[in-house]
Amino acid sequence: MENLKQDVLYWSKRLYQKGLMPSTSGNVSVKHDGKILISRSGVCATDMKEEDLVLLDLNGNVLEEGKKPSSEKLLHVLIYETRSDIKAIVHSHCPYITAFAAANKEIDKHFLADFAYCFDKIPLVPYYLPSSMDLAQSVADCFEKYSCALLANHGVVIGADTIQNCFYQLETIKNYVETYFAAEILGGAKMFNKKQIDEIKKLRK
Ligand SMILES: [Zn+2]
């Protein structure tokens, strides 16, 4: 568990440094040995220390007295319940990615090979009050098919086998949206056709 904590702290710092988790927004968790380790409420990712990680059981009950987990713990709990293959979750308010969430637009256009290789799309979940059961349930429903979701007027969630892979995937999405907005200035990105997308998807195997 100590190594896992250090892993979470390391990748949380990287998330902050890359602008993927500004200020005290967002939260991270990992699932290990039938328990969930989640960031506490109101902590900045780069300042996080071991004591800022809170141990939960798989129902979201706090196992360390006096500690206050992230207000989005339900969202993490329900995703882990839905997907046994997911062992790490990052929820972020990264501005450029959140711009799509703010505009209530899913990310489904393909013009970059690395993005098309990693993702079919980043689906949009309707707006629900942050920290609410409705939000957690609708994100968990989305995770039955996808391993990521845009939360309308809120942010983005990504799940993977490790927190390191959450970081890489979130960075891939960030690079995509930044390229998208920059390409708009140049007249807009030239989209792949279906054949080109299918060819890229075949490389996944
Ligand atoms: Zn949030």
What is the Å distance from ligand 1's center to 199 Cα?
A: 35
Give distance in angstroms: CA of 178 to centre of ligand 1. 20
Structural domain containing residue 125: 2-202
Q: Is 85 exposed, middle or buried (0-12, 13-18, 19+ CB in 10 A)?
A: exposed
- pTM, to two decimals: 0.95
Whether the pLDDT of residue 20 is over 90: the answer is: yes
Residue 79 has pLDDT above 90, yes or no: yes
CATH of residue 131: 3.40.225.10
Convert the pLDDT of each residue in 21-75 to its tens digit: 988 889 999 999 999 999 999 899 899 999 999 999 999 999 998 999 999 999 9
3-state secondary structure the chain: CHHHHHHHHHHHHHHHHCCCCCCCCCEEEEEECCEEEEEECCCCHHHCCHHHEEEEECCCCECCCCCCECCCHHHHHHHHHHCCCCCEEEEECCHHHHHHHHCCCCECCCCCHHHHHHCCCECEECCCCCCCHHHHHHHHHHCCCCCEEEECCCEEEEEECCHHHHHHHHHHHHHHHHHHHHHHHCCCCCCCCHHHHHHHHHCCC
Total domains in the chain come to 1
14 Cα–ligand 1 center, Å: 18
Residue 152 CA, ligand 1 centroid: distance in Å? 11
CA distance 62 to 37: 10
Average pLDDT over residues 120-128: 97
Q: Which residues are catalytic?
A: 72
